[in-house]
């Protein structure tokens, strides 16, 4: 087990280097002169050229990639042109916010999606199944930025139930930073009002971000449950007189959840990417919004850094999923 | 004596995309307490569906019971609610199945599944601790080596024979009145087959359980059962004590089956197969479903339902050609 984790982590490093190489190459092909943008519109050509040499932008791409990697090894991700801060500091500020949003969304999607998929299978082709399928199809069909706007318009502007955006009200004091996740930090400092407010701010963006994931989790789990409920061991359980509730929620679910888990891992990755849209709509200060702002100002170092962090999170989550597999299925466990 | 199980004129069909499949056609079958009945017939003839449908184990839809009744200890059980049916299963009637590899849940420990089954059979009236003791005792009875260790094992760590022992233990802990063994040895290799058959035979006798042994292996049936019912394409064609089935089979299908059994001392002999193949059950005629393959068939065989004829004591055959041999049973 320990050996497997170690092997996967080492392999991850190589995948991340590959990922960075791709992003690095793309950012060099993309139009826009970083030196010109960094110097500002009023700078003279000499100033731009001086900045280019200063930042090493005149060197060939392969040298610059090597320099980038060696800087990365000592924890230097460069400097953002638009915030004028070290990218590492920016990430430390924005990434916990994104992580909080994504964890909230995935928890929502899983805690709602798995039972709904289960119910759909248990009541196949009856009214609950049809209603759940309606939800699942709309979830796949609605683009999340549009859904975000509609939620803002109706639940926030019309009904005034939720805040429009952001992480906390402007007047609310920030809790002391420990994890950077406001819900956790406010609980750690015992400030329940702030906790409630931060959760309140998370509801709408989480809804928008999780609906597509919710939909696909429902669909996969429903299909897997249907298949599992037809298995021989379910017939045997029924022949023993075991009740339908226990059969569905225990005997079938523990088998059916395995493929659903793979889907959850994939959806986590989609959500990380989806934050770019949803954080934009809800003006939520996370890495998605940070990357968007960097992209419009041809600020490449933050973009590469964000890709690196999101990529690493995605890989870690999938490692976690594989370990959960082993936890749930004794046959997988005996192979590692 | 009141029969333990009495199936009368049971018909069952499946509503499928291609039409209505008439899987069971007016089947009647009786089982007395303590009796061991063999139900034989080829794959797809409805043996399993018949026994499962009687106890509410065939999902409906697509299955639909169109006529008939099933009496268990004199009580009609076809119209029972799912809850009442569930209370019967495991307690009054137990089933063991063909493939111990697929009929045991792969992701739960053997012990957990046993304890769950026992608690369901006792309608939740035993504690987990007590159920564990019952389970270990039962694992010992089915001669599973090292029961305490196997209790904590997962199914994939057990061999096929061991798993079948576990499933037998699971089925018999509540000492049911009827055991339906649905080809319990088909998936096992020959030496294990004999052991499992012996085990079932012994447990059934010790506990006074009636047995229906489903099989397509006449040898297996003759070893364990005292009576045999032969099914073909959803109909029962012959029902007689074992000795009579072997010595004086009356139905042409039964004769065909016996002619296809290899002789142990003359292995070089050619075996006689039955020409033709199974009939299409989407739109069957009302007569004998074997008629198309039967050397003795006449028009009357397919025109109307074939009457049951008794050609010996307790020897029933449903064949037009045997009508002349009727005795007063």
Whether B298 and B36 have beta carbons less than 8 Å apart is answered as: no
* Stretches in chain A below the pLDDT threshold 50: none
H helix or E strand, kind and range, residue B209: none
Chain A residues touching chain B at CB-CB below 8 Å: 231-233, 235-244, 246, 251, 254-255, 328-331, 334
Touching A: B residues 58-97, CB under 8 Å: 82, 86-91, 94-95, 97
pLDDT of B213 > 90? The answer is yes
3 state SS of B179: strand
Residues of B in contact with A251 (CB under 8 A): 105, 108
Closest by CA position to A98, among listed A319, A334, A257, A305: A305
Least confident of A158-167, A253-262, B45-54, B268-277: B268-277
Q: Is the ipTM of this complex over 0.95?
A: no
Q: How far is CA B65 from CA B23, B28, B53, B59, B265, in A?
A: 10, 14, 8, 11, 46
- Of the pLDDT bands very low, low, confident and very high (cuts 50, 70, 90), residue B79 is confident
CA distance A235 to chain B (A): 7
Spatial separation of the C-alpha atoms in residues A91 and A287, rounded to whole Å: 7
Tell me, yes or no, if B99 comes closer than 8 A to chain A by beta carbon. yes
What lies within 8 Å, CB to CB, of B46 at 6+ separation is B12, B23, B24, B27, B231, B233, B234
- Of the pLDDT bands very low, low, confident and very high (cuts 50, 70, 90), residue B328 is low
- Of the pLDDT bands very low, low, confident and very high (cuts 50, 70, 90), residue B36 is very high
Average pLDDT, chain B: 86
Tell me, yes or no, if B53 comes closer than 8 A to chain A by beta carbon. no
- Of the pLDDT bands very low, low, confident and very high (cuts 50, 70, 90), residue B290 is confident
Q: Cβ of B102 and A242 within 8 Å? A: no
Dihedral sign for Cα B74, B75, B77, B83, please.
Answer: negative
Share of chain B above pLDDT 70, in %: 99
Report strand pairing: B227-232 vs B210-215: unpaired
- Token duo for residue B312: 């010996």
Mutate to test the interface with A, among B103, B135, B171 (most CBs of A within 10 A): B103
Q: Cβ of A239 and B86 within 8 Å? A: no
Q: Does domain A87-333 have CATH number 1.10.3720.10?
A: yes
Specify the pLDDT at position A117.
Answer: 92
Whether B76 and B164 have beta carbons less than 8 Å apart is answered as: no
Closest by CA position to A181, among listed A254, A103, A258: A103
Specify the pLDDT at position B46.
Answer: 86
Dihedral sign for Cα B97, B99, B100, B103, please.
Answer: negative
Spatial separation of the C-alpha atoms in residues A151 and B206, rounded to whole Å: 69
pLDDT of B268 > 90? The answer is no
What lies within 8 Å, CB to CB, of A2 at 6+ separation is none
Tell me, yes or no, if B255 comes closer than 8 A to chain A by beta carbon. no
Whether B279 and B235 have beta carbons less than 8 Å apart is answered as: no
pLDDT of B329 > 60? The answer is no
H helix or E strand, kind and range, residue A154: none
CA distance B172 to chain A (A): 10
Specify the pLDDT at position A119.
Answer: 92
Q: Cβ of A235 and B82 within 8 Å? A: no
Q: Cβ of B105 and A237 within 8 Å? A: yes
- Which residue among A240, A330, A331 places its CB closest to the CB of B117? A240
Q: Please give the DSSP secondary-structure letter assigned to residue A81.
A: T
Q: Cβ of B107 and A329 within 8 Å? A: yes
> pLDDT tens for residues B135-177?
898 898 888 888 889 899 999 999 888 999 999 999 888 889 9
Residue appearing with tokens 């059979």: B121
CA distance A322 to chain B (A): 16
- Token duo for residue A47: 């100033």
Specify the pLDDT at position B23.
Answer: 87
Phi, psi of B27 (to 5 degrees): -90, 135
Spatial separation of the C-alpha atoms in residues B215 and B313, rounded to whole Å: 24
Specify the pLDDT at position B59.
Answer: 82
CA distance B135 to chain A (A): 14
Phi, psi of B70 (to 5 degrees): -130, 115
Specify the pLDDT at position A5.
Answer: 85
């Amino acid at each position: 087990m320990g050996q497997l984790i170690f092997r996967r982590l080492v392999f991850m490093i190589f995948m991340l280097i590959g990922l960075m190489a791709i992003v690095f190459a793309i950012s060099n092909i993309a139009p826009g002169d970083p030196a010109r943008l960094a110097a500002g519109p009023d700078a003279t050509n000499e100033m731009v050229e001086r900045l280019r040499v200063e930042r090493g932008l005149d060197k060939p791409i392969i040298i610059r990639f090597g320099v980038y990697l060696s800087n990365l090894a000592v924890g230097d991700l460069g400097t953002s042109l638009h915030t004028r801060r070290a990218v590492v500091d920016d990430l430390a500020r924005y990434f916990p916010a994104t992580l909080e949003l994504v964890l909230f969304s995935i928890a929502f999607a899983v805690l709602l999606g798995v039972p709904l998929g289960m119910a759909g299978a248990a009541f196949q082709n009856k009214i609950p199944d049809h209603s759940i399928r309606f939800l699942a199809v709309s979830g796949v069909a609605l683009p999340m930025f549009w859904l975000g706007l509609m939620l803002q318009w109706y639940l926030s502007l019309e009904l005034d139930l939720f805040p429009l955006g952001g992480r906390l009200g402007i007047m609310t004091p920030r809790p002391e930073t420990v994890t950077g996740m406001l819900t956790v930090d406010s609980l750690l400092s015992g400030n329940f009002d702030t906790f409630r407010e931060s959760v309140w701010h998370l509801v709408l963006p989480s809804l928008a971000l999780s609906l597509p994931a919710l939909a696909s989790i429902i669909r996969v789990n429903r299909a897997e449950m249907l298949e599992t409920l037809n298995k021989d061991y379910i017939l045997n359980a029924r022949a023993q007189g075991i009740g339908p509730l226990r059969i569905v929620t225990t005997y079938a679910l523990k088998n059916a959840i395995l493929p659903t888990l793979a889907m959850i891992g994939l959806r986590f990755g989609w959500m990380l990417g989806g934050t770019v849209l949803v954080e934009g709509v809800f003006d939520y200060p996370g890495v998605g919004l940070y990357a968007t702002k960097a992209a419009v100002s041809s600020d490449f170092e933050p973009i590469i850094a964000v890709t690196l962090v999101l990529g690493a999170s995605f890989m870690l989550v999938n490692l976690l999923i594989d370990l959960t597999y082993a936890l749930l299925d004794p046959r997988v466990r005996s192979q590692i | 004596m009141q029969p333990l199980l009495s199936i009368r004129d049971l018909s069952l069909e499946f509503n499928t995309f291609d039409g209505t499949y008439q899987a069971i056609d007016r089947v009647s079958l009786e089982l007395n307490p303590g009796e061991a009945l063999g139900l034989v017939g080829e794959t797809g003839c409805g043996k399993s569906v018949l026994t499962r449908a009687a106890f509410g184990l065939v999902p409906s839809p697509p299955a639909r019971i169109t006529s008939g009744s099933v009496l268990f200890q004199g009580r009609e059980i076809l119209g029972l609610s799912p809850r009442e049916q569930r209370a019967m299963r495991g307690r009054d009637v137990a089933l063991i199945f063909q493939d111990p590899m697929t009929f045991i849940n792969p992701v739960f420990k053997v012990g957990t599944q046993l304890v769950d089954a026992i608690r369901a059979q006792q309608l939740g009236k035993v504690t987990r601790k007590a159920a564990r003791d019952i389970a270990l005792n039962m694992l010992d009875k089915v001669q599973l080596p090292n029961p305490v260790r196997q209790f904590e094992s997962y199914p994939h760590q057990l061999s096929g024979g061991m798993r079948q022992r576990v499933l037998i233990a699971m089925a018999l802990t509540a000492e049911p009145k009827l055991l339906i063994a649905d080809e319990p040895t088909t998936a096992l290799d020959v030496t294990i087959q004999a052991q499992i058959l012996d085990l079932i035979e012994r447990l059934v006798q010790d506990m006074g359980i009636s047995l229906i042994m489903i099989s397509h292996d006449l040898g297996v049936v003759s070893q364990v059962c005292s009576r045999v019912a032969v099914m073909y394409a959803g109909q029962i064609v012959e029902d007689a004590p074992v000795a009579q089935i072997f010595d004086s089979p009356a139905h042409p299908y039964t004769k065909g089956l016996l002619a296809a059994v290899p002789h142990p001392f003359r292995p070089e002999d050619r075996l006689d197969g039955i020409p033709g193949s199974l009939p299409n059950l989407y739109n069957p005629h009302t007569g004998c479903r074997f008629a198309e393959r039967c050397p003795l068939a006449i028009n009357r065989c397919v025109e109307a339902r074939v009457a049951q004829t008794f050609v010996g004591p307790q020897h029933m055959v449903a064949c037009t050609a045997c009508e002349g041999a009727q005795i007063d049973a």
